[in-house]
Chains A and B, each alone.
Chain A
Amino acid sequence: MDAPAILRGVGLTKIYGNLVALRDADFSLRPGEVRALIGSNGAGKSTLIKVFTGAIAPTLGRVEIDGVAAPLGDPSEMIRRGIACIYQHSNLAPAMSVLDNIFLGRQPTRRFGFVDSARQRREARALLERHRIAIDLDATVGNLPTVKQKEVEILKALALDARVILMDEPTAWLAASEVAKLHDTIRMLKTRAVGIVYISHVLDEIFAVCDTMTIMRDGRVIAESAVADIDRPRVVHLMVGEKLARESAEAAHEKRHPRGTGEIRMSARDLTKRGVFTEVSFDLHAGEILCITGLIGSKRTELLRTLFGCDRFDGGTLQIDGRTAAFASPTGAIAAGVGFVPEDRHREGLMLDMTMTENLAMATLDRFHRGLMLQRRRMSEAARQAIASLSIQPPDGSRPVKLLSGGNQQKVLVGKWLNRAPRILILDEPTVGVDVGAKAEIYRILRRERERGAAILVVSSDLEEVFTIADRIGVMVAGRLVRIHDADDCRLQDIVREIGGAAA
């Protein structure tokens, strides 16, 4: 491991106006090393990554590749020198084929600039074979499941002969078994002396696949360590600081309330949507958190959307508070006391250009007007209270939501329902791409809602999360809700086995 650094950042500082996003950060990566880059949202990880990809030029400091100073703020030059990046959100052209995406912008050409499609296909096949990845080269990327899209992105980097791959939350949208597969790919890359920077909020993954870690907070590198020399409490402690670390440790010992107060709020019997999910039955009680987990593609999201009235079901019955419900639209579901936090906060959840106050009021506009007049002052007042009770940072309601960190955006998204004091709250992957601190706060909010008597239904792929917050755990496999456990009487191994279905 004493090889010289393949990628080095020295004294990197980035200043935006009055904000110091990165403060004198040193960073170094050797060939074949997998280095975790961790820290809360806003700690400066993204800024550091952007400096390495050339997306931004640092205010001060230098970047060296193989000991040679690299030009700063020049993305194409960084790619040429072997630095590739896989972003959390897809960077692919959805309407084009897998093959075209792999070679996008640098297709092998013949004379006169015609694309040499035969060669392109040959090279892609060789690439698939070398890395044992099975994917249809002619499939349209937009039609592929998220998991496969991630593979296409990795292939794209591999096709570049990348020597350093920066992975920004590569597993944010992956299910457990796919994460393992990605980790296999990473181990294979290691053997080929590719250096990897691995950004993730999931400590499990970091301890599973990384060799070393760099921990950041407030724009500084505050610790570096070999993964073998550090334990989780210490990592969390370094990341979030004293207070939050203690709270999340306490929360882990909370009492569970399977079936809550015993009052059934939502009851599904043999709920079926042809070709999507089949005979799903469950009871959701007031005062409990029911988590449904499963692989991506097990149709959990589709189930939630149907419960909320976005889609219709074709068989079975759904009852809310003992009354039969068949919502034609979310409007009906909301009137019945249901709130829904969708998975993709950017595409489906938030009005990014609008203010925090407006976003927080979005589900309760009916309460903020007198006659025709919108009562902006009351809206601001309600938002001020929500911001305080959700501890959203910075506590400034007039700030556009797009300027908030992921964790705070997620709090806004959850918070907009709390004004309604929903009887049933449905959340789809409530902490994807959210840092440890904000995660703990979102769990605290959900527990508080549960104590208030709300019935909470959560879909999550993150088993750490499921075991942290669930009172009961449902497992969904290929469109069927195969089993619901009391969280106290089941073990992680059992759930993992069930998630995989009969095949595992």
Chain B
Amino acid sequence: MSTINGTRSPQIAQRVAANALPLAMAAIVVVFAIAQPAFLTPDNLIGIVRQVALIGIMATCMTFVIMTGGVDLSVGPVLAIAGLVSFYCLQADLPLAVVILAGLAVGVLIGTFNGLVIAFLQLPPIIVTLATLSIVRGSALILGGPEQHLIRNEPAYSFIGAGSLFGLPFSIYIFALVAAVMIFVQRRTPLGLLVTAIGDNERAAHLSGHRTRITKTLVYAISGFGAALAGIIQSSQVHTALATYGPFGTELDVIAAVVLGGTSIMGGNGSVARTLLGVFFLGIVNNGMNILNVPIDIQLIAKGAIIVIALAIAARRS
């Protein structure tokens, strides 16, 4: 009898661990709401979504990279250079569509470069994208110099990051669209299944006839796309393009969101939808601590500790 009773509590524990992130999120929301009622106001909640939109877009777009067992450290400088390229296109009086496409194209190209080197030369993603990070940052500095480039009198462009539609910031719609597309691709298309398969066993995927190297290139291109889109939104939001946007640590926030969402850093199982949970978890923690006037140094330490605790709980699941 004892064995039968003994099996029940581990099952409950496992179920708790499997949903650790949503539960922790709920707990934190309750704590913040009690400590500072302003936390739960619609304005603040919308503010949270707006604040996480940039990291959220990059994280949903990087989830595939991490699912294949890779990582993309180059997103910060890509964000900066995409903003600069858009700025110069605006200056050249190009049509808005061209401006946006040019900014996005830079990100896709850099991502494709990452992917080609990683997939075809079979070099480790962490080193390749670290090198790209350096190359792109340097290129951005050459392109933009040290000064801020103000984006003035470009209402259409400014609408992307600063406008609002039906009472919500426009950037939230872009974030929602990107997230929806990525969730759809992951769950409902052969590409999503193939990405999981590559992360689980790349050789087996190759021997099953899949063009794994092309797929791997593609996922880095998607990550580059996400970073460039974030760069365009940011430059539009703050009416400025600057070579040092997306500073050191940006990529860590993005990776932390993906990993908090439960995607294994070793590749394989992962989920874009859960990455969103990770994004909001980090966003709520940041926002809550800001509202409670926690000093920035303490915030950094608390954030790091929370990430480790959340991962430790998630690791117990398996």
Q: For the complex, is B42 an interface residue (Cβ under 8 Å from A)?
A: no
A residues in contact with B205, CB < 8 Å: 351, 362
19 contacts between A and B (CB under 8 A): A15-B3, A59-B3, A329-B211, A331-B211, A334-B209, A347-B203, A348-B204, A351-B197, A351-B204, A351-B205, A352-B201, A354-B196, A358-B196, A362-B197, A362-B208, A365-B190, A365-B194, A373-B189, A374-B193
Q: How far is the CA of A340 from the CA of B210 in the complex (A)?
A: 13
Contact pick for A351, options B3, B189, B201, CB 8 Å: B201
Contact pick for B207, options A18, A340, A365, CB 8 Å: A340
Q: For the complex, is B188 an interface residue (Cβ under 8 Å from A)?
A: yes
Q: For the complex, is B269 an interface residue (Cβ under 8 Å from A)?
A: yes
B residues in contact with A374, CB < 8 Å: 188-190, 192-193
A348 touches B197 (CB 8 A): no
Question: Of residues 163 to 217 in B, which have CB atoms within 8 Å of A's CB atoms?
Answer: 188-190, 192-194, 196-197, 200-201, 203-211
Question: Of residues 337 to 388 in A, which have CB atoms within 8 Å of B's CB atoms?
Answer: 340, 342, 347-354, 358, 361-363, 365-366, 368-369, 372-374, 376
B-side interface residues toward A, CB under 8 Å? 3, 7, 188-190, 192-194, 196-197, 200-201, 203-211, 268-269
Q: For the complex, is A330 an interface residue (Cβ under 8 Å from B)?
A: yes
A residues in contact with B200, CB < 8 Å: 351-354
A residues in contact with B208, CB < 8 Å: 330, 334, 362-363, 416
Secondary structure type dominating chain B contacts: helix
User: Which of A308, A335, A340, A354 is packed against the most chain B CB atoms within 10 Å?
Assistant: A354
For the A-B complex with A310-B206, A362-B208, A374-B189 known, give 18 more contacts whose Cβ atoms are closer than 8 Å. Answer: A329-B206, A329-B211, A330-B206, A334-B209, A335-B209, A342-B207, A348-B201, A348-B203, A351-B196, A352-B200, A353-B269, A354-B196, A358-B197, A363-B208, A366-B190, A373-B188, A374-B192, A376-B188
B203 touches A331 (CB 8 A): no
Q: How far is the CA of A18 from the CA of B188 in the complex (A)?
A: 34
Q: How far is the CA of A365 from the CA of B197 in the complex (A)?
A: 12
A residues in contact with B190, CB < 8 Å: 365-366, 368-369, 374
Q: How far is the CA of A376 from the CA of B186 in the complex (A)?
A: 13
B residues in contact with A335, CB < 8 Å: 209
Q: How far is the CA of A373 from the CA of B207 in the complex (A)?
A: 23
A349 touches B204 (CB 8 A): yes
Q: How far is the CA of A358 from the CA of B197 in the complex (A)?
A: 9
Q: For the complex, is A322 an interface residue (Cβ under 8 Å from B)?
A: no
Q: How far is the CA of A342 from the CA of B190 in the complex (A)?
A: 23
Q: For the complex, is A275 an interface residue (Cβ under 8 Å from B)?
A: no
A residues in contact with B201, CB < 8 Å: 347-352
Q: How far is the CA of A347 from the CA of B203 in the complex (A)?
A: 7
Q: For the complex, is A17 an interface residue (Cβ under 8 Å from B)?
A: yes
Q: How far is the CB of A226 from chain B (nearest CB, A)?
A: 36
Q: How far is the CB of B318 from chain A (nearest CB, A)?
A: 10
Q: Whose C-beta in chain B lies nearest to the C-beta of A354?
A: B200
Q: How far is the CA of A348 from the CA of B203 in the complex (A)?
A: 5
Q: How far is the CB of A145 from chain B (nearest CB, A)?
A: 20
6 A-B pairs with the lowest CB-CB distances in the bound complex, closest first: A351-B200, A334-B209, A362-B208, A363-B208, A348-B203, A365-B190
B residues in contact with A331, CB < 8 Å: 209-211
Q: How far is the CA of A140 from the CA of B70 in the complex (A)?
A: 28
Instruction: Report how many residues on chain A are interfacial, defined by Cβ distance under 8 Å.
Output: 35
Q: How far is the CA of A15 from the CA of B2 in the complex (A)?
A: 12
Given A15-B3, A351-B197, A353-B269, do A362 and B204 touch, yes or no (CB 8 Å)?
A: yes
A-side interface residues toward B, CB under 8 Å? 15, 17-18, 59, 308, 310, 329-331, 333-335, 340, 342, 347-354, 358, 361-363, 365-366, 368-369, 372-374, 376, 416
Q: How far is the CA of A225 from the CA of B155 in the complex (A)?
A: 89
A363 touches B209 (CB 8 A): yes
Q: How far is the CA of A366 from the CA of B194 in the complex (A)?
A: 11
B residues in contact with A347, CB < 8 Å: 201, 203-204
Q: How far is the CB of B12 from chain A (nearest CB, A)?
A: 13
A residues in contact with B196, CB < 8 Å: 351, 354, 358
Q: How far is the CA of A50 from the CA of B139 in the complex (A)?
A: 58
Q: How far is the CA of A352 from the CA of B318 in the complex (A)?
A: 14
Q: How far is the CA of A278 from the CA of B190 in the complex (A)?
A: 40
A residues in contact with B194, CB < 8 Å: 365
Q: How far is the CA of A287 from the CA of B190 in the complex (A)?
A: 33
Q: Whose C-beta in chain B lies nearest to the C-beta of A13?
A: B3
Q: Whose C-beta in chain A lies nearest to the C-beta of B200?
A: A351
A330 touches B209 (CB 8 A): yes
A residues in contact with B7, CB < 8 Å: 17-18
Given A15-B3, A362-B197, A369-B190, do A350 and B204 touch, yes or no (CB 8 Å)?
A: yes
Q: Whose C-beta in chain A lies nearest to the C-beta of B268?
A: A353
Q: How far is the CA of A369 from the CA of B203 in the complex (A)?
A: 23
B residues in contact with A329, CB < 8 Å: 206, 211
Q: Whose C-beta in chain B lies nearest to the C-beta of A402?
A: B200
Q: How far is the CA of A333 from the CA of B7 in the complex (A)?
A: 49
B residues in contact with A349, CB < 8 Å: 201, 204, 207
Q: How far is the CB of A485 from chain B (nearest CB, A)?
A: 30
Q: How far is the CA of A340 from the CA of B209 in the complex (A)?
A: 10
Q: How far is the CA of A363 from the CA of B197 in the complex (A)?
A: 11
Q: Whose C-beta in chain B lies nearest to the C-beta of A417?
A: B208
Q: How far is the CA of A348 from the CA of B7 in the complex (A)?
A: 35
Q: How far is the CA of A368 from the CA of B211 in the complex (A)?
A: 17
Q: Whose C-beta in chain B lies nearest to the C-beta of A335?
A: B209
Q: How far is the CA of A354 from the CA of B196 in the complex (A)?
A: 8
Q: How far is the CB of A412 from chain B (nearest CB, A)?
A: 11
A residues in contact with B211, CB < 8 Å: 329, 331
Q: How far is the CB of A459 from chain B (nearest CB, A)?
A: 15
B207 touches A310 (CB 8 A): yes
A residues in contact with B203, CB < 8 Å: 347-348
B residues in contact with A369, CB < 8 Å: 189-190
Q: How far is the CA of A342 from the CA of B192 in the complex (A)?
A: 24
User: Which of B189, B201, B203, B204 is packed against the most chain A CB atoms within 10 Å?
Assistant: B204
Q: How far is the CA of A369 from the CA of B185 in the complex (A)?
A: 12
Q: How far is the CA of A361 from the CA of B197 in the complex (A)?
A: 11
A365 touches B210 (CB 8 A): yes
Given A342-B207, A348-B203, A348-B207, do A365 and B3 touch, yes or no (CB 8 Å)?
A: no
A residues in contact with B210, CB < 8 Å: 331, 362, 365
Q: Whose C-beta in chain A lies nearest to the C-beta of B2?
A: A59
Q: How far is the CA of A349 from the CA of B206 in the complex (A)?
A: 10
Q: How far is the CA of A482 from the CA of B209 in the complex (A)?
A: 31
Q: How far is the CA of A329 from the CA of B207 in the complex (A)?
A: 9
Q: Whose C-beta in chain B lies nearest to the C-beta of A340?
A: B207
Q: How far is the CA of A349 from the CA of B202 in the complex (A)?
A: 10
Q: How far is the CA of A15 from the CA of B5 in the complex (A)?
A: 13
A358 touches B193 (CB 8 A): yes
Q: How far is the CA of A298 from the CA of B277 in the complex (A)?
A: 53
User: Which of B190, B203, B269 is packed against the most chain A CB atoms within 10 Å?
Assistant: B190
Q: How far is the CA of A15 from the CA of B205 in the complex (A)?
A: 35
Q: Whose C-beta in chain B lies nearest to the C-beta of A349?
A: B204
B204 touches A372 (CB 8 A): no
Q: How far is the CB of B26 from chain A (nearest CB, A)?
A: 28
